[in-house]
């Protein structure tokens, strides 16, 4: 009888232990189920944070690129402005004498006409006068040449509409077509730019 009671007690104890283990297993499962949504929430938050960081990095890279482009354009524009300013200064230096040079050309023309005037050069007074005029003309031409003024238009040259102004065209013996036969008035350049075209007659 005692043995039966002992077996019953033992079975009762085992049953209680089994129920306790089952309860613990259920508690553990419930805890896992509760933890799973928390893990999913944390994972979603992490992914959202990573996506936001990537978005910010892309925005930062785009902003840096725009700033770099703006900087390059600003530098290029500054270089262009500097070059234009240097060119303007250079042109101002080169062509500052243009108006003065044009006025001097009239004096040169008058001296050349004076030398072309027929006169009795055997007379010492006339000869001295001509020599003085010729010397003055040479000195004046040398002076303006030092400042970039040079004559254009000579008999025998090929007609160039950028340098010459044709008054008439007519056939002339010993000249080819478009050759200058007569120079009515010399032309002049100032540092390579025409300040007065030559007035010429051209062979047809």
Q: What is the CATH number of the domain that holds 110?
A: 2.30.22.10
| Local structure of 172: helix, strand or coil | coil
Mark whether 75 and 104 lie in a shared domain: no
Whole-number Å distance between alpha carbons of 108 and 195: 14
Q: Exposed, middle or buried by CB within 10 Å (0-12, 13-18, 19+), for 99?
A: exposed
> Are 90 and 109 within 8 A, CB to CB?
no
* More confident position, 1 or 124: 124
- Domain that includes residue 154, residue range: 97-203
Distant-in-sequence, close-in-space partners of 141: CB < 8 Å, separation ≥ 6: 108, 151
Mark whether 106 and 171 lie in a shared domain: yes
Give the number of domains in the chain.
2
Mark whether 28 and 58 lie in a shared domain: yes
Whole-number Å distance between alpha carbons of 94 and 92: 6
Domain boundary among 76, 95, 114: 95
- What mean pLDDT do residues 155-162 have? 93
Claim: this prediction has a pTM higher than 0.75: no
Q: What is the dihedral of CA 32, 35, 39, 44, to 10 degrees?
A: 120
3 confidence band (pLDDT: 50, 70, 90): very low
Mark whether 131 and 172 lie in a shared domain: yes
Domain boundary among 71, 95, 119: 95
Mark whether 146 and 177 lie in a shared domain: yes
């Amino acid at each position: 009888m005692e043995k039966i009671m002992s077996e019953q007690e033992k079975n009762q104890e085992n049953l209680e232990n089994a129920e306790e283990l089952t309860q613990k297993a259920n508690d553990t499962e419930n805890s896992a189920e509760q933890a799973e949504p928390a893990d999913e929430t944390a994972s979603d938050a992490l992914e959202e944070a990573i996506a936001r960081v990537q978005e910010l990095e892309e925005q930062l890279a785009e902003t840096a690129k725009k700033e770099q482009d703006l900087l390059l354009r600003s530098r290029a524009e500054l270089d262009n402005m500097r070059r234009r300013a240097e060119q303007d200064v250079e042109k101002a230096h080169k062509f500052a004498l243009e108006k003065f040079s044009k006025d001097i050309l009239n004096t040169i023309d008058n001296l050349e006409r004076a030398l072309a005037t027929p006169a009795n050069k055997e007379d010492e007074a006339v000869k001295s006068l001509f020599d003085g005029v010729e010397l003055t003309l040479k000195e004046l031409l040398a002076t303006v040449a030092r400042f970039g003024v040079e004559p254009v238009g000579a008999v025998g040259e090929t007609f160039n509409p950028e340098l010459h102004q044709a008054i008439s065209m007519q056939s002339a013996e010993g000249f080819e077509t478009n050759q200058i036969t007569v120079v009515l008035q010399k032309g002049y350049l100032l540092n390579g730019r025409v300040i007065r075209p030559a007035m010429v007659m051209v062979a047809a």
